[in-house]
A and B are shown apart, each in its own frame.
Chain A
Amino acid sequence: MADVVRVVAADDPVRPLFSPAGELTADARGTLGLSPDELRDLYHKMVWIRRTDQEALNLQRQGELGLWGPYQGQEAIHVGTVAALRPTDWIFPSYREFGMGMCRGIDPAEMLTLFRGLSHGPWDPRRYHFAPLVIPVASQVPHAVGMAMGSRFKHGDDVVLSTFGDGATSKGDWHEAMNFAGVFRAPVVFLCQNNRWAISVPLAKQTAGSIAERAQGYGFPGIRIDGNDVLAVLAAVRAAAARARQGDGPYLIEAMTYRMGPHTTSDDPTRYRSETDLERWNVKDPIPRYREWLQGQGLIDEASLAAINREVETAVEATRNRLKSAPVPAAGEAIFGRVYQHPPDSFLEERQEFESSLESN
């Protein structure tokens, strides 16, 4: 059995920051080294991405978007994760990480053109180190490992963050990627946003065991943390990323949270979950929780809170206006453009045929 990698405590810089229940310890919270401005900014961002989420939901209801997948309840993970990483560390999201993209600096109006059906790829992933959203569940997890292996090959010290939901951990690609990463000690932080629902299937029916503890079987550490605490997420991702950066391999963080809204606008959660469940998690809503903590620390006052709300309202209104004025691209380019980098001649002929058929109709 000498070949089996044993994960030992000394190999885990994240666990000492947390209580056995996955709460960030007071000591760890006190030594994050964030300035009051940075701490307030985390709150500002959470409010901003939540309001944008609500606005997108409204826009979908008004027929302005084709579909929307709300992330309400998961803002602490979106904001904490991005704040913990270097801007050059790649993020491989699934489909619900709109807020992470915003925190990476992508214009939300530009991102929303995806859901308005105006573009398949509204942002340049290279510019933001933020890969395209992925609809097939868990498909992106092997990509993150490949990206990380490439980074090692190039002797860089950027790390890759791969995020996915609890449902993704049932998929073969997830297992294959975790195993690959373990074997090659790829510099990847795996971040499970365990929001307890995969459309209508609750966590208990998704898996009978612990997601975090599975990391042991792949030869690296894992931890379950409170994903509704922005500072806990930040601390965990930062420590796991630092470990990966120095060549010690992957880490699995299971951030416990709750999907407060529907799976998407096509879903009706009243068919499968109770109000009491939602109410239990309302109490743990990451935004009021963090606001109260900031107030308790004397880091934010009513005037700053009001200013944040005003700024966010202005930003959201501007987003809505920019989105609504985004032009519908020409059908030829929108449909035929960019299937290939070097399109075959026969493909270009087909495009021409398509375009002239549009003109003649």
Chain B
Amino acid sequence: MAVKTVIEAIREGMDEEMARDESVFLIGEDVGNRGGVFLASDGLFKKYGELRVIDSPLAESCIVGVAIGAAINGMKPIAEIQFADFIAPAMNQIIEEAARFCYRTAGDFNLPMVIRAPWGGGVHGALYHSQSIEATFGHIPGLKVVVPGTPADAKGLLKAAVRDPDPVLYLEHKRTYRLVKGEVPDGDGVVPIGKADVKRQGKDLSLIAYGLMLTYCLEAAEKLAAEGVSAEVLDLRTIKPIDQAAIIATARKTGKVLVVHEDNRFAGIAAEVMAIIMENAFDALDAPVMRLTGPDVPAMPFNHVLEEAFMPNVDKILAKARELAAY
């Protein structure tokens, strides 16, 4: 067990999977010699060579399309989209092709492929390097979407994604890359897709989050404890398939739920979580389910004051949680 950052955990996860299975390869922009713009693949080009760490032309749709073709041919591609904000040109390939391939071939072909995309704000990335895309892709049948928030989950879910027989969109939050450190178990440490994780036990209210917001919620929970409010923190970890049982369990346990995400509010993941609670735990609620989200605007500006204004943060979570606790 050693303490690592999220980016180290991702790199290690890819390295170990490539070493374990020679059909695993990485393809994306600048992933080769440069090691990726965030250094997620640092050293892998030297170790595995240009056939397995492929610097692609600047063409997101083709990165995913080529990965699909390679997966049909028995390979296990990891396709890197440099920023989630640039995934739009590949949407046809992801939604119409990758996510529907198993269905379209009546199960003759599944596509064991991973699409990695750095997402989220708080890095002064502005309009085109800050976006959240989990709700957009969470809506697509045939696709699995994971959103790790800790180093152990980042590595464990990467491994699970590579080994999963279906296409997995693996979203890595840029702000967590070097901010979030934690112990990563030695060995495989595979984290199952579709399982949420209670990161902190509590009894008065539940904070449900993922990605960077998990870190903020844990910090808020610590402060709430000092105020005499016991907050449980549930880390969704997987957006699709979402862990309904875990959501229902925490709602039933505390009776008060706040869902936090930085993605836009309308039809965001919070809406789905709230619907699950209403359908399954209405009778256990002591307050309306609340949500704290990014506003319904495209994304945030560079300026850090304005960026802070856009992003949910510890103070905003605290304010909302106090409102919920007092209800």
Residues of chain A having any CB pair with chain B under 8 Å: 92, 119-126, 131-132, 134, 136, 139, 141-151, 153-154, 172-173, 176-177, 179-180, 183-184, 337-342, 344-347
Greatest chain B CB density within 10 A among A124, A125, A143, A345 is at A143
B103 touches A146 (CB 8 A): no
Q: How many A-B residue pairs have CB under 8 A?
A: 147
A88 CB to closest chain B CB (Å) equals: 12
The answer, among B51, B92, B107, B194, for a CB contact under 8 Å with A173, is B92
Closest to A338 in B: B107
B73 touches A339 (CB 8 A): no
Q: Return 11 A-B CB contacts under 8 Å, by A number.
A: A125-B108, A139-B65, A143-B69, A145-B62, A146-B71, A153-B75, A172-B61, A337-B106, A340-B102, A344-B194, A345-B241
- Which residues from A are CB-within-8-Å of B25? 153
- Which residues from A are CB-within-8-Å of B242? 346
A345 touches B65 (CB 8 A): no
The answer, among A151, A177, A341, for a CB contact under 8 Å with B65, is A177
Given contacts A142-B64, A146-B66, A150-B72, 6 further A-B contacts (CB under 8 A): A146-B70, A149-B69, A173-B93, A179-B62, A342-B164, A342-B165
* B183 within 8 Å of A (CB atoms): no
A142 touches B165 (CB 8 A): no
A341 touches B68 (CB 8 A): no
Contact with A along B87-107 (1 / 0, CB 8 A): 001001100110001111111
The answer, among B72, B89, B103, B107, for a CB contact under 8 Å with A131, is B72
Complex: A147 Cα to B75 Cα, angstroms: 9
B65 touches A173 (CB 8 A): yes
A141 touches B65 (CB 8 A): yes
Residues of chain B having any CB pair with chain A under 8 Å: 25, 51, 54, 56-57, 59, 61-62, 64-75, 77, 89, 92-93, 96-97, 101-110, 141-142, 144, 164-166, 194, 240-242, 244
Complex: A83 Cα to B142 Cα, angstroms: 36
Assuming the contacts A122-B106, A132-B104, A180-B62, asked whether A146 and B166 have C-beta atoms less than 8 A apart, the reply is no
Complex: A344 Cα to B165 Cα, angstroms: 12
B101 CB to closest chain A CB (Å) equals: 8
Closest to A334 in B: B106
Assuming the contacts A119-B106, A121-B105, A176-B62, asked whether A342 and B166 have C-beta atoms less than 8 A apart, the reply is yes
A147 touches B72 (CB 8 A): yes
- Which residues from B are CB-within-8-Å of A183? 57
A150 touches B194 (CB 8 A): no
B61 touches A150 (CB 8 A): no
The answer, among A172, A184, A345, A346, for a CB contact under 8 Å with B89, is A172
Q: Which 5 A-B pairs have the closest CB atoms?
A: A146-B69, A142-B65, A344-B241, A150-B73, A176-B62
The answer, among A126, A150, A180, A347, for a CB contact under 8 Å with B75, is A150
A180 touches B56 (CB 8 A): yes
A142 touches B93 (CB 8 A): yes
A148 touches B69 (CB 8 A): yes
Complex: A294 Cα to B310 Cα, angstroms: 75
Q: Label chain B's interface by main secondary structure.
A: mixed
Greatest chain B CB density within 10 A among A92, A154, A341 is at A341
- Which residues from B are CB-within-8-Å of A344? 144, 194, 240-241
B166 touches A125 (CB 8 A): no
Q: Label chain A's interface by main secondary structure.
A: helix
A359 CB to closest chain B CB (Å) equals: 22
A147 touches B105 (CB 8 A): no
B102 touches A338 (CB 8 A): yes
The answer, among A92, A136, A139, A340, for a CB contact under 8 Å with B142, is A340
A73 CB to closest chain B CB (Å) equals: 27
The answer, among B59, B66, B109, B194, for a CB contact under 8 Å with A345, is B194
Complex: A150 Cα to B124 Cα, angstroms: 38
- Which residues from A are CB-within-8-Å of B73? 146-147, 150-151, 154
B62 touches A177 (CB 8 A): yes
Complex: A56 Cα to B284 Cα, angstroms: 58
B105 touches A132 (CB 8 A): yes
Closest to A180 in B: B62
Complex: A344 Cα to B146 Cα, angstroms: 13
Assuming the contacts A176-B61, A346-B244, asked whether A121 and B106 have C-beta atoms less than 8 A apart, the reply is yes
Greatest chain B CB density within 10 A among A92, A144, A147, A184 is at A147
Complex: A14 Cα to B110 Cα, angstroms: 36
The answer, among B51, B69, B75, for a CB contact under 8 Å with A142, is B69
A136 touches B92 (CB 8 A): yes
B74 touches A142 (CB 8 A): no
A120 touches B65 (CB 8 A): no
B194 touches A143 (CB 8 A): no
Closest to B51 in A: A153
B194 touches A125 (CB 8 A): no
A321 CB to closest chain B CB (Å) equals: 23
Complex: A342 Cα to B161 Cα, angstroms: 12
Assuming the contacts A176-B59, A344-B241, asked whether A143 and B65 have C-beta atoms less than 8 A apart, the reply is yes
- Which residues from A are CB-within-8-Å of B244? 346
Complex: A179 Cα to B97 Cα, angstroms: 20
B106 touches A338 (CB 8 A): yes
Complex: A124 Cα to B109 Cα, angstroms: 8
Complex: A87 Cα to B78 Cα, angstroms: 29
A120 touches B70 (CB 8 A): no
- Which residues from A are CB-within-8-Å of B51? 153
Assuming the contacts A120-B106, A337-B106, A340-B166, asked whether A147 and B70 have C-beta atoms less than 8 A apart, the reply is yes
Greatest chain B CB density within 10 A among A131, A145, A149 is at A149
Closest to B64 in A: A142
